[in-house]
Amino acid sequence: MTAKISSFISENIASLFTDVRFFPSRLRNHLPERRIVKKKFLGLALLAGIGLAMTPVIAAPAVATGDYQFMMFSKDGITDPAEEDATMKTALEEIGTVTVFDGGDGSASAWTAAIAGMDALVFPEGDVYGDGDAMSAEAAAVVKTWISAGGRALGTGSYDHADFIDYLTGITRTWQDSDLSSGNYDLMIESATLPATISSGNYTGAISNWSDWTTEEKTGATEIYGNAAEGDAAIVQFAVGTGSFTYYAYDWYPDESETLTVLPEWNEALRLGAAGNYSDAVGGGSGFALDLDLALEVGDTVAGADVNVSASGLQPATDWNLVLRSTPITLDFGTVGDGGSVSSTVTIPAGLEPGWHTLTLTGTGADGKTYQRVASFLIASDGTLGEAVVYGEVTEVALVDTGLAAAGIVGVSLLATFLFFLAFGAFGTKGRLRTAGIDLQVKEGLAVLNRKLDRLERMRRLRKKP
């Protein structure tokens, strides 16, 4: 459609300037031609506007903004207050106020007071969770409750926070870190605004065995930046209830050559995570994940096969369900608990006809919107899996129901406008148009417009008289 409009505009530009090289002069002096010119000019202007409006807009990279309140844990002997912590503090102060906290006496009451009213908690490289003096077990529970209720936490130099993340998420993982020798980490989620890459630096201890993690280990974990060729993950967001803990591989201790290159990229990544931009890009709210896994390979018998369901970052006390189609059969359902997560295993029933079928997992994110993920599978005539299971992306249900994303709605609206003006003769040069077999007279409307132009012309001439 856009290509046709562009072609039409090009043709009419040539035609317009052939007839009217100096439009205002011809409007004054050649009234019979003015009617043709007026209609062509109106049509061309409308087409140009529609063509520009339908041109895809490329969004600028996201830049974190706002006026946030951050708590940064910083304590000599655990973190590096003089260098790494100070560098991160300066970066975060561009978008808010940073309150430095050393853990006090490590008690639950000290941490409760420190995190009250904060938008995000920042943990620089250092094992705060393993230091009972800075964070007691009771204090760790306070932090977990705060994050689980929708809070954001960030940890850098990630391998020191592995035990902390396992505690917060309730999942034990195998952690291996390594420094990417060269190259970049790529954006691994769909986003029109987040930077496409982030550079590897010294020392960027990424999760080197990310690609080897099991389904359970990846439950509630969303890779934001990674290197697919190496199987490394550099920034990962872990769901903690309806909140999140974002892992950063970088330790904010750059080589001198990186202070003007690598460091600014990671500073912006820090701000984006602290401001919630990563959570928004993931969709569903902080720590949101909606996963389906059919334990099937091509040639396996479909009836009786397991379907593993896992979800995190869901809104507590909301309903979720798993529906088998084409004839809808609810295989599983329930109410989300306080932790915002769901885990279940069901089996595919017998008696399904050969052909394509779908499994749809639906739940409500912490942002209050309903989301779903669909898995499609083909049953062959002998009851086995005919092709590999096709897993769709997480999609907002409202967009699925309408079948139109925002860009589609805009396109349809512009098309409707185009057809409206077309029907009322905006593009005619002879006063009539035949569209879809309908003959529409526009002379009367054009005559009214012409009379207005004549009146304006007479008024202009009267004003020029001495």
pLDDT at 405: 41
Report how far residue 288's alpha carbon sits from residue 155's, in angstroms, rounded to the nearest whole number.
18
pLDDT at 454: 63
Nearest to 371, CA basis, from 419, 312, 330, 424: 312
Q: So where are the chain's domains?
A: 2-55+412-464, 68-282, 289-393
Is the Cβ–Cβ distance between 85 and 124 less than 8 Å? yes
426 vs 139, residue with greater confidence: 139
* Residue 14: band (very low, low, confident or very high) from pLDDT cuts 50, 70, 90: very low
Over residues 385-401, the mean pLDDT reads 80
Q: pLDDT at residue 32 above 50? A: no
pLDDT at 179: 61
| Residue 285 CB coordination number (10 Å) | 25
310 vs 304, residue with greater confidence: 304
* Residue 306: band (very low, low, confident or very high) from pLDDT cuts 50, 70, 90: very high
**Does domain 289-393 bear CATH number 2.60.40?**
yes
Report how far residue 229's alpha carbon sits from residue 325's, in angstroms, rounded to the nearest whole number.
37
The string over 20-51, giving b where at least 16 C-beta atoms fall within 10 Å of a residue's C-beta and e elsewhere, is beeeeebbeeeeeebbbbbbbbbbbebbeebb
Tens of pLDDT, residues 404-448: 444 444 444 444 454 455 444 444 444 444 444 444 444 555 565
139 vs 13, residue with greater confidence: 139
Q: pLDDT at residue 128 above 60? A: yes
The CATH number of the structural domain formed by 68-282 is: 3.40.50.880
Q: pLDDT at residue 164 above 50? A: yes
pLDDT at 459: 57
Tens of pLDDT, residues 328-368: 999 999 998 877 788 899 999 999 999 999 999 999 887 78
Q: pLDDT at residue 82 above 90? A: yes
- Beta pairing, strands 243-248 & 205-207: unpaired
* Residue 304: band (very low, low, confident or very high) from pLDDT cuts 50, 70, 90: very high
Q: Which distant-in-sequence residues (6+ apart) come within 8 Å of 43 by Cβ?
A: 12, 421, 426, 427, 428
* Residue 461: band (very low, low, confident or very high) from pLDDT cuts 50, 70, 90: low
Tens of pLDDT, residues 105-120: 999 999 999 999 999 9
The mean predicted confidence, pLDDT, of the chain is: 77
pLDDT at 260: 86
Report how far residue 130's alpha carbon sits from residue 155's, in angstroms, rounded to the nearest whole number.
14
pLDDT at 457: 60
Q: pLDDT at residue 126 above 70? A: yes
40 vs 135, residue with greater confidence: 135
- Beta pairing, strands 289-294 & 342-347: unpaired
Q: Of 36-50, 300-314, 348-362, which range is least confident? A: 36-50
Q: pLDDT at residue 285 above 60? A: no
Tokens of 185: 């980490």
pLDDT at 294: 92
Over residues 164-174, the mean pLDDT reads 90
